[in-house]
Structure 1
Amino acid sequence: MTETPELDPVIHAQARLRVVSALSALRDDDKVTFPWLQESLGMTAGNLSVHLRKLEDAGYVEVTKTHQGRTPATLLRLTRRGRLAFEEYTAALRALLDPGASS
């Protein structure tokens, strides 16, 4: 019997999975604004902030505070570590869903 793959608990929460999935669709160095991600995912600012903090603490998301003109802006991107974690997560999920596929 093969070992059951573990799903990364940081990514596995539904909201964080949605965040990582959305950011993984960008090119490596592309960044999006907090309001864009919030609107795209239909999340409240508070809820998104909490999940971004958890992803940032894990090293999966980079949060950059800057200004666009005089307006404060928060830019977000998936780090290399975050991309790798998401790739491993999706591979583990595929293995759970179709255990015979990798045999």
Structure 2
Amino acid sequence: MEEIKAKIIKIATNIINKEIDLLNGCRTLVHFQRELAEPPEAFFVLRGIDSETDIFPIVLAERKQWASEALSRLDREKNEYISLVKEEIIEACREIIQQIPHL
């Protein structure tokens, strides 16, 4: 459990420090939160964002399956959406970092 908590803290910190793609970071955190018995409520925000953005391909293997015009359109839509929720993501990550060690 401590290993999962450490990974969650590292990813959340990387998101805050803009060291990883916000959407990829959200998806990764949502994946890891499933390992927690009682995840912090801030994960609800990330799960919602993950759900609303599941159409956007971010992994190279997914991206290769799209036509370039469609991929460009999806990238624009993704960037527009992320710009709207960026602060929510960062705030959720801050809350997660504060709460995870106490679980």
TM-score above 0.5, yes or no:
no
TM-score (norm 1): 0.34
TM-score (norm 2): 0.34
Question: Which has the larger Rg?
Answer: 1
Higher helix share: 2
